[in-house]
Chain A
């Protein structure tokens, strides 16, 4: 009886994590499609993907239990957790250096962002 309850708790927790991660990834995909400019799209893509990836891998690790698969999943999570934000940083850095600036006319507010060209 106790084992059955334990199995069901693990199953429900893992599917909760997997569905939550899928929701994050879906929201990120909608943000990529619907946001107005490069910077907000990058934000939608990177932040929600990291969260969704962690939740999905946690859910899959719960499904596979204490096995080699879980060990490999932890390594994949570490790798993606390091490389994802790094690649986002590289893309944003290249865009900033090549002259792309965030829109500063959102909601009719002029000069909402500081002038990045000016020397401090």
Chain B
């Protein structure tokens, strides 16, 4: 028999997780026109996974996002950030000088560069937040639904 004790929370969470992820992407990619950016978007993205984990349990969340994937993603974000800087060095410009990506129009190059760097920041922040949640959430045995 299915326990319906948390039915309202589960239905509302299913409604909201998609909206939270969409809002995280909005904050991520609209960050150079309005308040926002990689850090805020990463935290919002992590909040979507954390609220899913709080309501549906850690096991279900780790089916979607296994811990080893999260660890790789947190490293990949730093790689994207520093890779952008090294790439501009390879093009003969200073480290993280985004003008290198479009020498004819430096402002276009800056646009590309800031998007890449913010993508790396957002990826790392989201992955590290989820890792911290996994670290705390996995420490104790889960409360079974019968205990409520």
Contacts and interface: CB of A to CB of B under 8 A. Distances in A.
B19 interface: yes
Interface residues of B, number: 8
B19 A89 contact: no
Interface of B is mostly: helix
Interface string B105-144: 0000000000000000000000000000000000000000
Interface string A62-83: 0000000000000000010011
Contacts of B5: 93
A104 B67 CA distance: 49
Interface residues of A, number: 8
A82 B20 CA distance: 13
B148 A86 contact: no
Contacts of A83: 12, 16
B8 A86 contact: yes
B16 A82 contact: yes
Interface of A: 79, 82-83, 86, 89-90, 93, 97
15 contacts: A79-B16, A79-B19, A82-B12, A82-B15, A82-B16, A83-B12, A83-B16, A86-B8, A86-B9, A86-B12, A89-B8, A89-B9, A90-B9, A93-B5, A97-B148
